[in-house]
Each structure stands twice: as C-alpha cells, then as structure tokens.
Chains A and B, each alone.
Chain A
Amino acid sequence: MTRQVILGATLSALMITPSLAAEIAPTDVTYVEGAIEASLTGVPGDPVNGKKIMTTRALGNCVACHPISTMPDVPFHGNIGPELNGAPDRWTEAQLRGIVANAKMTFDGTIMPAFYKTGTFIRPGAGYTGKAPEGPLSPILTAQQIEDVVAYLMTLKE
C-alpha cells in the first residue's frame, strides 16, 4: 500500500505514464475562492476507496475530527469539525474538492490539514516517524485519493 503510494507519487512527479501525466500537481492547482473546478486526474473518483481513505489514520483520517453519520460501523468519530453528512447540500463538488485539497483556501486559518499540498511547512516530518523527510515531500493524499474522497462526499446528499 505504502509502496503503491510512493510509486504513484514518483511516477506522477516524473510524468511517465500518459494517464498520470494529466494529473495536476499540488503546486499547479488553481483555487477560485477556495474551489477547484476540474478533476485533478480526469479519472472519476471511487467512493468506496474514498470511504477507506477517510477512516485510515495515515491517510485522510477525517473521522478523527468529523462525525460522519453514514459510517456507523466506524468507531469513535471526533467532533472538532462539523458533521459531513449533507456536505454536498452545502457545497458544490468543486468547493468540496478545494476543501479536501487545501481547506485553508476556504476557511482561513482552519485546523483542518491541507491534504494536497507539498510546501511550505515548518519542520515537516517523514509521516508520523518524527524524523526529517528524506527527499521532497509527497502530499498526504494523491490526486486520485482526493478525487476518491470527493466522490464519497458527493454521496452524502441528505
């Protein structure tokens, strides 16, 4: 799993395969009032994988902060952020993509981390190891993982 992520990031950095070449790199993303209009990959997101990302600590870990009533099977939801059920009633897909990629563009100074950002950070580490990273940082989520999460969020219409 980790290996795939790293491989994906490396490939996309080198822009080797044609499908990945279409990907928009974190530094090339255009935010319009916090929203990202176009898909980051051109490949439709997979909501099932999106849900997995949102509940996995080393990935999205959205449940750490958000109650999500559509996931009663997942134990211990945090309550730092708002309930996500109904999010697509409040936000467009483009706005949700912007929020997941870098919520600071929508909510100034928010505690919510930016999941599709590679710089600038103060003392970034290599994941949760506490050590300095070797080489350039990858975003916390890949472009396709962002799309997967957005696809899941879009299923949360109330």
Chain B
Amino acid sequence: MKLRTSALATATALGLALTGMAWAEPVEDTLTIETDDGQITMVTTAPAPAHLSDVMDTIYSGWHFRDAETRAMQMDDFDNPGMVFVDRGLDAWNAALGKNGESCAGCHQSPESMAGLRAVVPRVDEKTGKLMLMEDYINSCVTERMGLEAWGMTSKSMKDMLALISFQSRGMTVNVATDGAAAPYWEKGREIYYTRYGQLELACANCHEDNYGNYIRSDHLSQGQINGFPVYRLKNAGILSAQQRLIGCVRDTRAETFKAGSDELKALELYVASRGNGLSVEGVSVRN
C-alpha cells in the first residue's frame, strides 16, 4: 500500500498512465462446504482461460474478496441464508403450477436431472440457434409447456428456480462455449465488457480487470466473476441474479442500463461467464 502510493506518485509525476496496474490481494483460503451429503471443496482459484492470457494469469472466485465472516457463511449450508431459496425453488419444482396441473417434476423428475446445466449456460440452443440464459430455458417451459405467462426475469419465482438449478451443479467446473455458434454473441459480450459506459466512462474492465484487489470506498474489488450466482446478498437479504448484478454495475457508472434479458446483457453474461471457465459453480454463494 505504502509502496504502491509512492510508486504511483513517481509514475504520475512522470506523466505515465497507470491503468492496467492491478494490485491483487485476494485472501488465501480454501472453500470447503459442509453439505447434507458431506464436504465439497470448490475450485476458487484457477489458471486464467486462454482467451484472458494477455490480461491475467489467475482467476479468482469473488469469495476470495469477501470478509472472513461472509466467507464463513458460505462454508456451511446450514449457515448459508441462500439455502432457503433453494428450498423454495424445490417446492415450486414439485408443485402443480401449470394450466393443466403440470409440474417441473412431472416432466423432469428430480431437480438432479439439471446437474451440469449451470456450468455450460449461457449457451446457444442447438434447435433454435438462440443464445439462452437459464432464465430463458425456464421460461420456455413455463410458457410453452405449462401454459403460463412468462415469469419476470428477476421475479421471485425465477430466482428461486435459478437457485435450485444452480445448486445441482455445485462443485462442477464452469465451461461455457465461446466458439462455434456462440462466437458472435461472445464477441458482442466482450465488446460491451471493454466499453466505457456512462457519465463516469467506466468499463467493466476498469474495475474488475485493472483494479481487482484494490478497494473502491469500502468495497474490495473482485474480478467480477459469476460462478457464484445467484448469490444471497446480505445487504438486500435476498437473492441476486447475475443479470441483476450486471444491471447494477452498469447503473453505477451513471449510465442508462440495459434491461434484464436484453440481447446486450445476455451476451455480456455469456462473456463474463467465460472469464470464469475453470472455476467451480458455487451458486448459491453469499455476498455482503
């Protein structure tokens, strides 16, 4: 800290631009979670995927950047307030919600049939060629197979279900596709990631690539990974989806945000997910 300040002062005196100077100090710790079925150890630190090799060597879960108390809450399902939402999702899964009494369980059996899905979504659907968020998959069943109005992208029902479905992939390795049919969406997401939006003219990369490890006011900046989503956010005492987090971060640049489920935010979610290829799916994780 001391050293950095003087280094900065010297460099600024020389008129050098200092963006790109990361001061990484993620906490060294291991995330082993006590679950009903024993312990799972998460991969929270991994070599950066090849597409990031120019900008970073190592990727870190956001868990490493939270304080000890918040980290601890995620280390035991009993203490993780997000589990309530997984349970609520399970109730909805089994309920005869459909127009003709259909339930998710009726067609998909146990939610465990969804294991592995969170790790590869967002992805381009083979049949339709469309980029699909988990929310889109859920809504296609809700509307086409259960005869209901679509659930709001950030509604309680949607987020409960996101929690339940993510939970089935906990500990599996994030591995979203960036090539093939996904390539144009991924490129678009990448462009958004590096665009300096809003009156503050800040890109995602300014904070989460150039400055992770640093503090912005009281917030310890992480790499902005989404492997932990949806997260239980202590501040809101509720579940926050990745789409909501992206919206919040765009808004905080004094920008006009994008809507949840818009083409832009779908592409951005795919791209951000791909920056975490190699980390474990952690949702539901805990954040302050």
Contact = CB atoms under 8 A, between A and B. Distances in A.
Q: Which of B23, B254, B256 has the most CB of A within 10 A?
A: B254
A87 to B, nearest CB: 9
Contact of B201 (A83, A108, A114, A130): A114
B110 interface: no
A113 B202 contact: yes
Contacts of B19: 109-111
Contacts of B5: 67, 79, 82-83
A121 B217 contact: no
Interface string A104-137: 1011111101100100011111111111110001
Nearest to B2: A83
Q: Which of A83, A111, A121, A125 has the most CB of B within 10 A?
A: A111
Contact of A130 (B9, B13, B217, B250): B250
A29 interface: no
Contacts of B214: 78-80
A121 B216 contact: no
A122 B217 contact: no
Interface string A15-27: 0000000000000
Interface residues of A, number: 41
B9 A82 contact: yes
B55 interface: no
Given A111-B206, A114-B201, A123 B216 contact: no
Given A122-B198, A125-B251, A132 B217 contact: no
A137 B199 contact: yes
Given A79-B4, A121-B199, A130 B12 contact: no
B211 interface: yes
Contacts of A80: 211, 214-216
A112 to B, nearest CB: 9
Contact of B198 (A64, A65, A76, A121): A121
A90 interface: yes
A107 B199 contact: no
Contacts of B17: 107-110
B256 A125 contact: yes
A122 B195 contact: yes
B210 interface: yes
B215 A76 contact: yes
A14 to B, nearest CB: 22
Interface of A: 61, 63-65, 67, 75-83, 86, 90, 104, 106-111, 113-114, 117, 121-133, 137, 140
Interface of B: 1, 4-5, 8-9, 12-13, 15, 17-19, 23, 195-202, 206-207, 210-211, 214-218, 247, 250-257
5 contacts: A79-B215, A80-B211, A123-B256, A124-B199, A128-B251
